[in-house]
Structure 1
Protein backbone atom coordinates (compact mmCIF):
# COMPACT_ATOMS: atom_id res chain seq x y z
CA UNK A 1 0.00 0.00 0.00
CA UNK A 2 1.22 3.49 -0.87
CA UNK A 3 0.25 6.27 1.55
CA UNK A 4 0.73 9.99 0.98
CA UNK A 5 1.34 11.92 4.20
CA UNK A 6 0.83 15.66 4.55
CA UNK A 7 0.43 18.07 7.45
CA UNK A 8 0.22 21.74 8.29
CA UNK A 9 -1.32 22.88 5.02
CA UNK A 10 -2.86 25.89 6.81
CA UNK A 11 -5.35 26.64 4.06
CA UNK A 12 -7.52 29.42 5.44
CA UNK A 13 -10.91 30.63 4.21
CA UNK A 14 -10.96 32.36 0.84
CA UNK A 15 -7.49 31.01 -0.01
CA UNK A 16 -6.99 29.74 -3.55
CA UNK A 17 -5.54 26.29 -2.89
CA UNK A 18 -5.90 24.93 -6.43
CA UNK A 19 -2.13 25.12 -7.02
CA UNK A 20 -1.44 23.18 -3.83
CA UNK A 21 -3.97 20.49 -4.75
CA UNK A 22 -2.35 20.27 -8.20
CA UNK A 23 1.10 19.72 -6.66
CA UNK A 24 -0.25 17.20 -4.15
CA UNK A 25 -1.94 15.33 -7.00
CA UNK A 26 1.47 15.12 -8.72
CA UNK A 27 3.04 13.52 -5.64
CA UNK A 28 0.00 11.53 -4.49
CA UNK A 29 -1.35 10.47 -7.89
CA UNK A 30 -0.67 6.78 -7.27
CA UNK A 31 -1.34 6.55 -3.53
CA UNK A 32 -4.05 4.35 -2.05
CA UNK A 33 -4.61 6.65 0.92
CA UNK A 34 -3.71 10.15 2.11
CA UNK A 35 -3.08 10.83 5.79
CA UNK A 36 -3.31 14.47 6.93
CA UNK A 37 -1.76 15.08 10.37
CA UNK A 38 -3.69 18.24 11.17
CA UNK A 39 -3.77 22.00 10.66
CA UNK A 40 -5.88 21.53 7.56
CA UNK A 41 -7.76 24.70 8.61
CA UNK A 42 -10.86 24.51 6.37
CA UNK A 43 -13.29 21.79 5.38
CA UNK A 44 -13.16 22.91 1.74
CA UNK A 45 -9.49 21.94 1.48
CA UNK A 46 -10.15 18.55 3.08
CA UNK A 47 -12.96 17.91 0.59
CA UNK A 48 -10.69 18.84 -2.32
CA UNK A 49 -7.97 16.52 -1.00
CA UNK A 50 -10.51 13.67 -0.85
CA UNK A 51 -10.87 14.00 -4.64
CA UNK A 52 -7.17 13.03 -4.98
CA UNK A 53 -7.44 9.85 -2.85
CA UNK A 54 -9.32 8.64 0.25
CA UNK A 55 -8.24 10.66 3.31
CA UNK A 56 -7.73 9.81 6.98
CA UNK A 57 -7.11 12.97 9.01
CA UNK A 58 -6.86 14.41 12.52
CA UNK A 59 -7.37 17.91 13.94
CA UNK A 60 -4.53 20.28 14.60
CA UNK A 61 -4.31 23.31 16.85
CA UNK A 62 -5.16 25.75 14.01
CA UNK A 63 -8.16 23.92 12.58
CA UNK A 64 -11.47 25.76 12.52
CA UNK A 65 -14.71 24.47 14.05
CA UNK A 66 -15.83 22.80 10.81
CA UNK A 67 -12.76 20.55 11.03
CA UNK A 68 -12.94 20.06 14.81
CA UNK A 69 -16.59 18.99 14.53
CA UNK A 70 -15.70 16.35 11.93
CA UNK A 71 -12.32 14.95 13.05
CA UNK A 72 -10.70 13.58 16.20
CA UNK A 73 -7.37 14.74 17.61
CA UNK A 74 -5.96 11.19 17.62
CA UNK A 75 -6.63 8.32 15.23
CA UNK A 76 -5.39 4.73 15.04
CA UNK A 77 -5.27 2.65 11.85
CA UNK A 78 -4.40 -0.98 11.20
CA UNK A 79 -2.83 -1.42 7.76
CA UNK A 80 -1.14 -4.66 6.77
CA UNK A 81 0.79 -5.72 9.88
CA UNK A 82 1.19 -2.15 11.14
CA UNK A 83 -0.60 -0.20 13.85
CA UNK A 84 -0.42 3.49 12.95
CA UNK A 85 -1.04 6.32 15.39
CA UNK A 86 -1.84 9.76 13.97
CA UNK A 87 -1.80 12.95 16.04
CA UNK A 88 -0.92 16.55 15.22
CA UNK A 89 1.53 16.65 18.13
CA UNK A 90 3.64 13.55 18.64
CA UNK A 91 2.00 10.76 20.64
CA UNK A 92 3.26 10.16 24.16
CA UNK A 93 5.46 7.11 24.81
CA UNK A 94 2.78 5.66 27.10
CA UNK A 95 0.11 5.80 24.36
CA UNK A 96 2.55 4.33 21.83
CA UNK A 97 3.20 1.42 24.18
CA UNK A 98 -0.42 1.03 25.32
CA UNK A 99 -1.76 1.02 21.74
CA UNK A 100 1.13 -1.11 20.40
CA UNK A 101 1.95 1.51 17.74
CA UNK A 102 4.54 0.67 15.04
CA UNK A 103 4.31 3.94 13.09
CA UNK A 104 3.66 7.42 14.52
CA UNK A 105 2.55 10.15 12.12
CA UNK A 106 2.55 13.71 13.42
CA UNK A 107 2.95 17.29 12.27
CA UNK A 108 2.98 20.66 14.06
CA UNK A 109 6.72 21.41 13.80
CA UNK A 110 6.62 22.15 10.04
CA UNK A 111 10.00 20.34 9.89
CA UNK A 112 10.16 17.10 7.87
CA UNK A 113 11.55 14.13 9.75
CA UNK A 114 11.89 10.38 9.47
CA UNK A 115 13.40 8.70 12.50
CA UNK A 116 13.36 5.27 14.01
CA UNK A 117 13.44 4.28 17.63
CA UNK A 118 13.31 0.65 18.77
CA UNK A 119 10.17 -0.82 17.22
CA UNK A 120 8.65 2.52 16.15
CA UNK A 121 8.96 4.59 12.97
CA UNK A 122 8.26 8.33 13.47
CA UNK A 123 7.13 10.36 10.46
CA UNK A 124 6.56 14.10 10.20
CA UNK A 125 5.95 15.37 6.65
CA UNK A 126 6.75 19.00 7.48
CA UNK A 127 4.51 21.60 5.85
CA UNK A 128 3.48 22.31 2.28
CA UNK A 129 2.71 25.99 2.90
CA UNK A 130 4.86 27.24 5.81
CA UNK A 131 7.92 24.95 5.80
CA UNK A 132 10.77 25.19 8.28
CA UNK A 133 14.28 23.81 7.84
CA UNK A 134 15.62 20.90 9.83
CA UNK A 135 18.75 21.59 11.89
CA UNK A 136 21.82 22.05 9.74
CA UNK A 137 23.80 18.86 9.17
CA UNK A 138 27.28 20.11 8.30
CA UNK A 139 28.25 16.78 6.72
CA UNK A 140 25.56 17.02 4.06
CA UNK A 141 24.24 20.58 3.87
CA UNK A 142 25.86 23.88 3.04
CA UNK A 143 22.81 25.96 3.93
CA UNK A 144 19.33 25.58 5.35
CA UNK A 145 16.58 26.11 2.82
CA UNK A 146 13.01 25.36 3.89
CA UNK A 147 11.03 23.62 1.15
CA UNK A 148 7.44 22.36 1.07
CA UNK A 149 7.51 18.63 1.82
CA UNK A 150 5.36 15.51 1.96
CA UNK A 151 6.12 11.88 2.78
CA UNK A 152 5.29 8.75 0.82
CA UNK A 153 5.00 5.67 3.04
CA UNK A 154 5.09 2.25 1.41
CA UNK A 155 3.75 -0.72 3.37
CA UNK A 156 4.15 -4.26 2.12
CA UNK A 157 3.24 -6.94 4.65
CA UNK A 158 5.64 -6.31 7.51
CA UNK A 159 8.05 -4.06 5.56
CA UNK A 160 7.78 -0.25 5.66
CA UNK A 161 9.68 2.36 3.65
CA UNK A 162 9.28 6.13 3.93
CA UNK A 163 10.57 8.90 1.68
CA UNK A 164 10.48 12.69 2.02
CA UNK A 165 9.66 14.57 -1.18
CA UNK A 166 10.06 18.31 -1.60
CA UNK A 167 8.75 20.63 -4.25
CA UNK A 168 9.28 24.26 -5.13
CA UNK A 169 6.45 26.66 -4.38
CA UNK A 170 6.36 27.91 -7.98
CA UNK A 171 7.00 24.46 -9.49
CA UNK A 172 5.11 23.99 -12.74
CA UNK A 173 3.28 20.76 -13.45
CA UNK A 174 4.08 18.84 -16.58
Structure 2
Protein backbone atom coordinates (compact mmCIF):
# COMPACT_ATOMS: atom_id res chain seq x y z
CA UNK A 1 0.00 0.00 0.00
CA UNK A 2 1.32 3.43 -0.90
CA UNK A 3 0.25 6.77 0.41
CA UNK A 4 0.50 9.98 -1.47
CA UNK A 5 1.27 13.22 0.31
CA UNK A 6 1.56 16.67 -1.15
CA UNK A 7 4.24 18.66 0.63
CA UNK A 8 3.54 21.81 -1.31
CA UNK A 9 0.32 23.80 -1.41
CA UNK A 10 -1.69 24.05 -4.61
CA UNK A 11 -0.57 26.57 -7.20
CA UNK A 12 -3.43 28.45 -8.90
CA UNK A 13 -2.66 29.58 -12.43
CA UNK A 14 -5.13 31.79 -14.27
CA UNK A 15 -5.55 30.91 -17.94
CA UNK A 16 -6.68 33.40 -20.55
CA UNK A 17 -6.38 33.83 -24.27
CA UNK A 18 -7.58 35.95 -27.15
CA UNK A 19 -8.10 39.19 -25.24
CA UNK A 20 -7.60 41.17 -28.48
CA UNK A 21 -6.69 44.33 -26.54
CA UNK A 22 -9.68 44.13 -24.19
CA UNK A 23 -9.18 43.76 -20.43
CA UNK A 24 -12.60 43.17 -18.93
CA UNK A 25 -13.15 43.96 -15.23
CA UNK A 26 -14.75 40.50 -14.92
CA UNK A 27 -11.47 38.93 -16.07
CA UNK A 28 -9.41 40.88 -13.54
CA UNK A 29 -11.81 39.84 -10.78
CA UNK A 30 -11.70 36.18 -11.91
CA UNK A 31 -7.89 36.13 -11.91
CA UNK A 32 -7.51 37.89 -8.54
CA UNK A 33 -5.73 35.63 -6.09
CA UNK A 34 -3.94 33.54 -8.72
CA UNK A 35 -0.28 32.73 -8.14
CA UNK A 36 0.51 33.17 -11.85
CA UNK A 37 -1.25 33.90 -15.15
CA UNK A 38 -0.78 32.28 -18.55
CA UNK A 39 -1.94 34.19 -21.64
CA UNK A 40 -2.14 31.95 -24.71
CA UNK A 41 -1.83 34.69 -27.32
CA UNK A 42 -3.74 37.27 -29.34
CA UNK A 43 -2.92 39.90 -26.75
CA UNK A 44 -2.57 42.74 -29.30
CA UNK A 45 -1.26 45.48 -26.97
CA UNK A 46 1.27 45.46 -24.14
CA UNK A 47 -1.23 47.24 -21.87
CA UNK A 48 -3.12 43.93 -21.55
CA UNK A 49 -0.06 42.18 -20.10
CA UNK A 50 0.70 45.19 -17.91
CA UNK A 51 -2.80 45.04 -16.40
CA UNK A 52 -2.50 41.29 -15.77
CA UNK A 53 0.95 41.72 -14.19
CA UNK A 54 -0.68 43.84 -11.47
CA UNK A 55 -2.35 40.60 -10.30
CA UNK A 56 0.41 37.98 -10.71
CA UNK A 57 3.48 37.13 -12.81
CA UNK A 58 2.47 36.58 -16.45
CA UNK A 59 3.74 34.05 -18.99
CA UNK A 60 2.53 34.84 -22.52
CA UNK A 61 3.00 33.64 -26.08
CA UNK A 62 2.52 35.44 -29.38
CA UNK A 63 -0.68 34.78 -31.31
CA UNK A 64 -1.44 35.37 -34.98
CA UNK A 65 -2.84 38.85 -34.21
CA UNK A 66 0.16 39.96 -32.13
CA UNK A 67 1.83 41.99 -34.87
CA UNK A 68 2.84 45.19 -33.06
CA UNK A 69 5.89 45.48 -30.81
CA UNK A 70 6.50 44.60 -28.06
CA UNK A 71 4.01 41.68 -28.12
CA UNK A 72 5.20 40.75 -31.63
CA UNK A 73 8.54 39.85 -30.03
CA UNK A 74 7.05 37.20 -27.73
CA UNK A 75 7.91 33.57 -28.41
CA UNK A 76 5.32 31.36 -30.12
CA UNK A 77 6.03 28.51 -27.66
CA UNK A 78 6.88 28.65 -23.95
CA UNK A 79 7.60 25.69 -21.72
CA UNK A 80 7.50 26.14 -17.94
CA UNK A 81 7.55 23.84 -14.95
CA UNK A 82 5.38 24.48 -11.92
CA UNK A 83 6.00 22.15 -9.00
CA UNK A 84 6.39 18.82 -10.85
CA UNK A 85 4.20 19.68 -13.86
CA UNK A 86 5.64 20.77 -17.22
CA UNK A 87 3.36 23.10 -19.20
CA UNK A 88 3.59 23.97 -22.90
CA UNK A 89 1.90 27.22 -23.92
CA UNK A 90 1.20 27.82 -27.61
CA UNK A 91 -1.48 29.89 -29.31
CA UNK A 92 -2.65 27.44 -31.97
CA UNK A 93 -3.03 23.75 -31.15
CA UNK A 94 -1.87 22.99 -34.71
CA UNK A 95 1.61 24.08 -33.55
CA UNK A 96 1.82 21.40 -30.82
CA UNK A 97 4.21 18.51 -31.43
CA UNK A 98 2.58 15.17 -32.30
CA UNK A 99 3.48 13.48 -29.03
CA UNK A 100 3.82 16.08 -26.25
CA UNK A 101 4.18 13.30 -23.63
CA UNK A 102 7.41 12.14 -25.28
CA UNK A 103 8.68 15.73 -24.92
CA UNK A 104 7.94 15.60 -21.17
CA UNK A 105 4.85 17.81 -21.41
CA UNK A 106 2.07 17.23 -18.86
CA UNK A 107 -0.25 20.12 -19.78
CA UNK A 108 -0.78 21.99 -23.06
CA UNK A 109 -2.44 25.42 -22.90
CA UNK A 110 -3.70 26.85 -26.19
CA UNK A 111 -6.01 29.56 -27.47
CA UNK A 112 -6.91 30.69 -31.01
CA UNK A 113 -10.27 28.92 -31.46
CA UNK A 114 -12.12 31.08 -28.89
CA UNK A 115 -13.82 27.82 -27.80
CA UNK A 116 -13.16 26.76 -24.20
CA UNK A 117 -12.25 23.09 -23.91
CA UNK A 118 -10.56 20.65 -21.54
CA UNK A 119 -9.53 17.16 -22.61
CA UNK A 120 -6.96 14.52 -21.80
CA UNK A 121 -5.13 12.57 -24.47
CA UNK A 122 -2.42 10.00 -23.80
CA UNK A 123 -1.89 11.32 -20.28
CA UNK A 124 -1.56 14.98 -21.38
CA UNK A 125 -4.09 17.56 -20.19
CA UNK A 126 -5.12 19.97 -23.00
CA UNK A 127 -6.72 23.24 -21.91
CA UNK A 128 -8.12 26.07 -24.00
CA UNK A 129 -9.61 28.75 -21.75
CA UNK A 130 -11.54 30.26 -24.67
CA UNK A 131 -11.63 33.99 -25.33
CA UNK A 132 -11.59 36.65 -22.62
CA UNK A 133 -11.78 39.43 -25.22
CA UNK A 134 -14.47 40.67 -27.60
CA UNK A 135 -17.34 38.25 -28.18
CA UNK A 136 -17.03 36.24 -31.38
CA UNK A 137 -20.16 34.70 -32.87
CA UNK A 138 -22.10 33.08 -30.01
CA UNK A 139 -19.02 31.77 -28.19
CA UNK A 140 -18.74 32.50 -24.45
CA UNK A 141 -16.44 35.04 -22.84
CA UNK A 142 -14.36 32.78 -20.63
CA UNK A 143 -11.17 32.16 -18.70
CA UNK A 144 -9.80 29.18 -16.83
CA UNK A 145 -7.85 27.96 -13.85
CA UNK A 146 -5.09 25.40 -13.74
CA UNK A 147 -4.56 23.93 -10.26
CA UNK A 148 -1.25 22.18 -9.67
CA UNK A 149 -0.49 20.06 -6.62
CA UNK A 150 2.86 18.29 -6.83
CA UNK A 151 2.72 16.20 -10.01
CA UNK A 152 -1.07 16.53 -10.44
CA UNK A 153 -2.79 19.15 -12.60
CA UNK A 154 -6.50 19.84 -13.03
CA UNK A 155 -8.28 22.53 -14.99
CA UNK A 156 -11.62 24.32 -15.10
CA UNK A 157 -13.03 27.16 -17.16
CA UNK A 158 -15.86 29.57 -16.47
CA UNK A 159 -18.03 31.89 -18.53
CA UNK A 160 -17.44 35.42 -17.27
CA UNK A 161 -20.06 37.49 -19.08
CA UNK A 162 -23.65 36.50 -19.83
One fold, TM greater than 0.5?
yes
What residue is the counterpart of 2:107 in the other structure? 103
What residue is the counterpart of 1:159 in the other structure? 152
Contact 2:35–2:57 (CA under 8 A) maintained in structure 1? yes
Cα distance, 1:168 vs structure 2: 1.3
SS in 1 for 2:33: coil
Determine if the alignment matches structure 1 residue 9 to structure 2 residue 19. yes
Determine if the alignment matches structure 1 residue 93 to structure 2 residue 98. yes
Equivalent-residue separation in structure 2 for 1:35 and 1:50 (angstroms) = 11
Equivalent-residue separation in structure 1 for 2:59 and 2:52 (angstroms) = 10
Cα distance, 1:49 vs structure 2: 1.3
Determine if the alignment matches structure 1 residue 128 to structure 2 residue 138. no
- Aligned mate of 2:40, from 37, 40, 43: 37
Cα distance, 1:37 vs structure 2: 0.2
Equivalent-residue separation in structure 1 for 2:47 and 2:136 (angstroms) = 25
Q: Give TM-score, length-normalised by structure 1.
A: 0.80
What residue is the counterpart of 1:116 in the other structure? 120
Higher relative contact order (CA 8 A, sep 6+): 2
| Uncovered stretches (5+) of structure 2, i.e. residues with no partner | 1-10
Equivalent-residue separation in structure 2 for 1:27 and 1:76 (angstroms) = 24
Equivalent-residue separation in structure 2 for 1:64 and 1:52 (angstroms) = 25
Aligned-CA RMSD value: 1.7
Equivalent-residue separation in structure 2 for 1:64 and 1:118 (angstroms) = 34
Equivalent-residue separation in structure 2 for 1:45 and 1:78 (angstroms) = 24
Give the count of matched residue pairs.
149
Distance 1:128 1:116, change over 3 A: same
